[in-house]
Structure 1
Amino acid sequence: MAIRVGIGLGAVIVVLLVLILLQPSTYRVERHATVAAPVDVVFDQVEDFRKWGPWLPWAKLDPQMKTTFGGTQGAVGATYAWEGNDDVGSGRMTVTAIKPNERIDIELAFIEPFASKADNGFTVEAAGQETKITWFMAGTNDFMGKAFCLFMDMDAMIGKDFEKGLADLKRVAEEAAKAPKPADAGTVNAAAPQ
């Protein structure tokens, strides 16, 4: 009897290993939004990590999350590090490439709850009077990542967060586009009767 149980357990383990090894070795998550704001206004919200708070979906999961910014924001080498509760873990983002008003590439390094790296970033392009923004993340799956994929769909899991973040980013950028610029405010005041 013990031999049959051992053989059955061994067969289950072999099948599980084969299923894990057959999982994709790479992943890509991508979501888009159309924003009623000029390209430069939308890009301004993603090129400076200090502006991410109002729209970053994970910031809402831990309002006490500690964040640290380094380097020159809006430039290659700018960093954003975070340390939070179990919902957000800890990690660091570093800008690796930037093409103003077109694309920003970010290396995303998770430290906790598990160590991993991914390529992350945004592209923006004019869409008539609006701007199309794309948020993407891509990476490779090691053995543990492939095992994770058996139980969780990375696109569905991360995609929902991207959708929430882009909806909030849209709101923030559209409000910024409607706000009077300092030069405009001065012009209006100068024209006002004394």
Structure 2
Amino acid sequence: MAKCTGTDTPPPVFAVVGKPEPDLSAPFRPGCLAVVLDGVRDPGNVGTIIRTADAVGADAVLLGKGCADPYNPKTVRSTMGSLFHVPVVTGDLRSLLPEAKRKGIRLVGTSLQATASCYELDWKPATWLLMGSEADGLSADSIALMDEAVRIPMRGKAESLNVAMASTVLLYEAMRQRMFSKQQ
């Protein structure tokens, strides 16, 4: 068992399973909420974002070029099973993002220069949340297609949040507005 796992203390059981075929229509559903990762290379961050997307009921997670493999052992462990609950689609963002816009899906990204707070944005319409790598941020191609840029307000002296934590804050705000808004 120790030779078949990458952990110091392997669990007493493991399985070999086939990769699920993602529902390619899931990110394009009416009223969808999806997370789009653009060059997020850390498998722990990718796994945590997949797990958070599952927790808030997002329709899908899309992984563009340069992202960690969703089946990397660290990614799989970080999802805590959510990899099998939420569709994870890998593809070319240069074709997926324009297709989303053609279908009326709003593309929202984060930016330290954004003036709008994430709490001011209406998260109820069909939205894809674009998140870039911590080192490079969103690619120029993704930025050029964004409809809205938001920031997460911070009171302390931290310059920014880890991409997984920032995604969590934004996804939970989207869920709060979609599920718990008094104006439903």
One fold, TM greater than 0.5?
Answer: no
RCO greater where, 1 or 2, for CA within 8 Å and sep 6 or more?
1
Larger Rg: 1 or 2? 1
Q: Which has the higher helix share?
A: 1
Question: Which one has a larger percent strand, Structure 1 or Structure 2?
Answer: 1
> TM-score when scaled to structure 1?
0.22
